[in-house]
Amino acid sequence: MAFRAAPVRVRVPATSANLGPGFDALGLALSLYDDVVVRVADEGLFVDVAGEGADTVPRTRRHLVVRALHAGFDALGGQPRGLEVVCANRIPHSRGLGSSAAAIVAGLTAARALVLGGADTLDDDALLALAAELEGHPDNVAACLLGGLTLAWTPADGPAHAVRLPVSPALRPVVFVPTTSSSTAKARKLLPETVPHADAARNAARSALLVHALAADPGLLLAATEDRLHQQYRAPSQVKTAGLIDALRADGVPAVVSGAGPSVLAFAGHADDLSSYAPRGWAVEVLAVDADGAELLGLAG
């Protein structure tokens, strides 16, 4: 097993999962990025972090990018003696915008690039399956890896899969990001074990409509983003998030919880300025749909 001597640089996008009714299945890549530069060293581990999470994330093997790097190297057949990892983070942490998926995909993509012939051993399908295993669900990692709009699923007896779907060029994603954070694991604990059959049937119909609306007819997004599976159960724990969504939707703006929250994803019209809806202290980002997914930007330096 031979390693590349030069460092590699990977850019990964933020993602919004679920998109309302597409729970644990649909994901959308957004034009907000983390950059990771990794070099194989003679020994030890050096981790530097700037931007989001710089004051809180560990600089040890527990760092999520480092964990993903080691998982990738294991899948490729061996570990380097040392690593230097530099992260420039722009994706908010624990806000429902896929920061953990970005870290995992960045680490795996960098590991593959640092091993000579790595792409032959760990192709995109295998990388996706490993990323989903590390993340625990495939929706965010699929969109982060592939870009655009993705539909992901996990068979009962096999690894995760995903397909990329068409996206209308008229989409104008807007994210509302609070200062408070949320735990995906805790958010999942708020969900019931069963839901009414009528709610499940309604969500299935809305999910199908959502794929069409995102691809060809954004005018249908208000109806297509209705959800009965998860948002109502999490609303009491994210009061400002729920209130913002209600306010936007009451005015005809398609809006959903981004991932497990507490951020909100909305789709603006051509000339809409949605900043006036933001609660005090919330940031508003008008983004584009990222079309490229995880990118290897070549040799760093």
Write the pLDDT tens digit of every residue in 163-176. 999 999 999 999 99
Q: Which residue has the higher pLDDT, 301 or 179?
A: 179
For 142, other C-beta atoms within 10 Å of its C-beta total: 33
- The helix, strand and coil proportions of the chain, stated in percent and rounded to the nearest 5, come to 35, 25, 40
Is there a single domain that holds both residue 30 and residue 112?
yes
User: 18: helix, coil or strand?
Assistant: coil
Q: Print the domain residue range for 179.
A: 173-286
Is there a single domain that holds both residue 230 and residue 253?
yes
Within-domain flag for 56:
yes
Q: Give strand ranges (E) for the chain.
A: 8-17, 26-41, 44-51, 82-89, 149-153, 161-165, 173-177, 255-257, 264-267, 283-286, 295-299
The C-alpha angle with vertex 215 and arms to 156 and 226, in degrees rounded to 5, equals 70
Return the exposure string of 163-174: e unless at least 16 CB atoms fall within 10 Å of the residue's CB, then b: ebeebbeebbbb
Residue 288 has pLDDT above 50, yes or no: yes
Is there a single domain that holds both residue 218 and residue 275?
yes
Confidence of residue 299 (pLDDT cuts 50, 70, 90): low
Is there a single domain that holds both residue 27 and residue 137?
yes
Is there a single domain that holds both residue 61 and residue 138?
yes
Within-domain flag for 142:
yes
- Rounded mean pLDDT of the chain? 95
Calpha distance 254→161 (Å, rounded): 28
Is there a single domain that holds both residue 274 and residue 225?
yes
| The pLDDT value given to residue 301 | 42
Confidence of residue 265 (pLDDT cuts 50, 70, 90): very high
Average pLDDT of span 272-290: 96
Is there a single domain that holds both residue 28 and residue 81?
yes
Q: Return the closest-CA partner of residue 221 out of 32, 24, 17, 21.
A: 21
Within-domain flag for 101:
yes
Confidence of residue 300 (pLDDT cuts 50, 70, 90): very low
Average pLDDT of span 265-294: 95
Integer angstrom CA distances of residue 91 from 16, 86, 151: 11, 15, 22
Calpha distance 224→32 (Å, rounded): 25
Is there a single domain that holds both residue 241 and residue 193?
yes
| The pLDDT value given to residue 22 | 96
pLDDT digits (tens, 9 = 90+) for 70-123: 999 999 999 999 999 999 999 999 999 999 999 999 999 999 999 999 999 999
Structural domain count of the chain: 2
pLDDT digits (tens, 9 = 90+) for 9-40: 999 999 999 999 999 999 999 999 999 999 99
Confidence of residue 189 (pLDDT cuts 50, 70, 90): confident
Residue 192 has pLDDT above 80, yes or no: yes
215: left (phi over 0), alpha (psi -120 to 50) or beta: alpha
Is there a single domain that holds both residue 103 and residue 182?
no
Average pLDDT of span 126-153: 97
| The pLDDT value given to residue 183 | 76
Domain CATH code at residue 37: 3.30.230.10
| The pLDDT value given to residue 242 | 96
| The pLDDT value given to residue 295 | 97
Is there a single domain that holds both residue 45 and residue 155?
yes
Is there a single domain that holds both residue 294 and residue 231?
no
Whole-structure pTM value: 0.95
Percent of the chain clearing pLDDT 70 (strictly above) = 99
Average pLDDT of span 198-205: 96
Q: What is the dihedral of CA 172, 178, 182, 187, to 10 degrees?
A: -60
Is there a single domain that holds both residue 124 and residue 181?
no
